[in-house]
Structures are given as structure tokens and as C-alpha cells.
Amino acid sequence: MIKQYIRLTDLQWGAISVFLDTKRKRKLNLRDVIDAIFYILRTGCQWRNLPDSYPPWQAIFWYFSKWKKSNIFAEINIALNKLDRKNNGRDENPAIFSADSQSVKLAPMIWENRGLDAHKKVNGRKRQFLVDSGGRLWFAKVHAANIHDGAAALGFMPDIICQNERLVKIYGDQAYAGVFADEIEKHKIKFEKAAKPESTKGFIPVAKRWVVERTIAWSNFFRRIVKDYEYTVTSSVGWLYLANIQIMLQRIYSTDKI
């Protein structure tokens, strides 16, 4: 992971620009807009505190909202995941996913989709992750922290059903072994429980599922998502995809490796 934020290289911008309308004449350079969004993601600064070297924050926020609503971030994310897999000699479509959740605190004065995770004692939101065997984030959901993992993971079903037929198995802990496991098995996708022995205490890497825990740990490198500052869960999901996008860009087009 690059320790200091660096603007996009030409190759990195080229990989993203194909998803954007760059041919239309406009006052703003979309490359500067993307750079500004990645700057906020990495440093965690508020929109209004964006440095003057970037376009006005109101314009950056407008584009962020527009691309978020049109699922541009999700499309870029999947395309880069597939490219990175191909570069590593893998089929571009994963055969397995690992599922896990992360409870995070929610910024004050935000009441939408807020709840208490009594087990982890976190008052805020919960993030659901679906990653492949390399830890690449494919799909994410965000909801109130008091909603059970398995029930909330049912929100992944449209994405899972639309996946390539190579997908045959999803790993998860006990929380996903109920309604979620029953639902995916209706679509001939096997669920396999992967959890540490009940007699053990503390953190122990779990076979087949440690990759999703590592992906969650990577979020600590992006200050915008170490805590949930968003009024809407769609914005929260958008930032998670952007974090994975930046990781994939560094993997594919940079000598610095995760």
C-alpha cells in the first residue's frame, strides 16, 4: 500500500476513463474530479476542506453523487477485479466467495440506518463484504448494526444470482449458516461454514475465510471509511467500492504491491 496519496497515473486514469463520458465538453477535467474523490477517500478530509488545488468541492460532490446513483463505481470495481484476476492467471469470474461483516461507529447527528450491535458494543452500522479468494471486494452492503448478518446478507441475492455460473461455494461463519445458506443453496451454490473452534479465544486466522478479514483490515488505510460519516448507506457502499478500486489500480498499474 502506498503510504502517501499520489494522483492517478496515465495508465490508471485510462482504466477508469472508459466508464465516464469524457468526450462531452465541460469546464471541469474529470481526471481532477476522480483525483479529488480519491484524495478525500485516503485522507478523510471533509468536502469543504478539499485543497484549492482541486476543483470546487460542490462540483466534486455532485459528480460523486451522480456516479454513485448510476452504479459507475460498482461497474469500475468489477471490471478491475476481473482484470486483476486475469493478470494473476485466474479466470476472471470467481468460483468462491467469502462473506463477513464489520461493525463500525456512525458519526454523530446521523440517525438513518443506525443500530446497536450488542455483541461488539458498537452503536452504528454494519458492513457486509463478499470477496473472492484474493480478497478482492466484489459486493458490499451497509445497514444498521442491530440487523443480523444472515438476514442482511439476503440483500446480496440479486448480485449472487447474476454471477457467472462458475460460482459454486460461499464461505462464512455461523451467522450466515441459517437463512442465507438456505437461500443460496436453492440456487445450487454450496455454503460452507468456516469459523474458529468455539474453545479458542482472541483472533485466529480461519482457513478459507481469512482473506475477507484481511480485506476488512485494508479499510484502515482509507481514513474516510475507518468510521461511517455518510448520511446514506449508498454513499457508504460507494466509498467501499472506491477503496477496492484504488487497491486494484495500485496492484495492476503500479510496482507497489499490497
Distances (CA, A) of 228 to 9, 127, 161: 29, 10, 29
- Mean pLDDT along residues 233-245: 98
Q: How confident is the model at residue 69 (pLDDT cuts 50, 70, 90)?
A: very high
pLDDT band at residue 209 under the 50/70/90 scheme? confident
Give me the pLDDT at residue 76, please.
98
Can you give the length of the chain in residues?
258
What sign for the dihedral angle of Cα 219, 222, 225, 227?
Answer: positive
Structure confidence by residue, pLDDT tens digits, 87-106: 999 999 999 999 999 999 99
Distances (CA, A) of 206 to 134, 195, 216: 15, 6, 14
Per domain, the residue ranges of the chain are 10-253
Given pLDDT bands bounded at 50, 70 and 90, which one contains residue 216? very high
CB 78 within 8 A of CB 136: no
DSSP 126: E
Q: What is the overall mean pLDDT for the chain?
A: 92
Give the per-residue pLDDT at 164.
Answer: 80
Q: What is the pLDDT of residue 200?
A: 56
Question: Tell me, what's the pLDDT at 62?
Answer: 97
Question: What tens digit of pLDDT does each residue of 31-49 get?
Answer: 999 999 999 999 999 999 9
* Distance between CA atoms of residues 245 and 238, nearest Å: 10
Residue 3 has pLDDT above 80, yes or no: no
Could you report the per-residue pLDDT of 173-197, keeping only the tens digit for each? Answer: 999 999 999 999 999 999 999 765 5
Contact between residue 76 and residue 245 where contact means Cβ atoms under 8 Å apart:
yes
Cell of 30: 474529470
Which residues neighbour 243 within 8 Å (Cβ) at sequence distance 6 or greater?
Answer: 41, 137, 218, 219, 221, 222, 225
- On the question of pLDDT at 254 being above 90, the answer is no
Q: How many CB atoms lie within 10 A of CB 42?
A: 19
Q: How confident is the model at residue 199 (pLDDT cuts 50, 70, 90)?
A: low
Helix pair 233-253, 210-218: axis angle to 10 deg: 100
Q: Which residues pair with 172 in a beta bridge?
A: 193
User: Is domain 10-253 given the CATH code 3.40.50.360 in the classification?
Assistant: no
Q: Is the pLDDT of residue 205 over 50?
A: yes
Burial class (CB in 10 A: 0-12, 13-18, 19+), 244: buried
Per-residue pLDDT for 244 more than 60? Answer: yes
Whole-angstrom distance, CA of residue 149 vs CA of residue 122: 14
In order of 59, 80, 99, 232, the CA distances from 65 in angstroms are 10, 21, 27, 11
Residue 87's CB is within 10 A of a number of other CB atoms, namely 11
| pLDDT (tens digit per residue) in 122-172 | 999 999 999 999 999 999 999 999 999 999 999 999 999 988 889 999 999
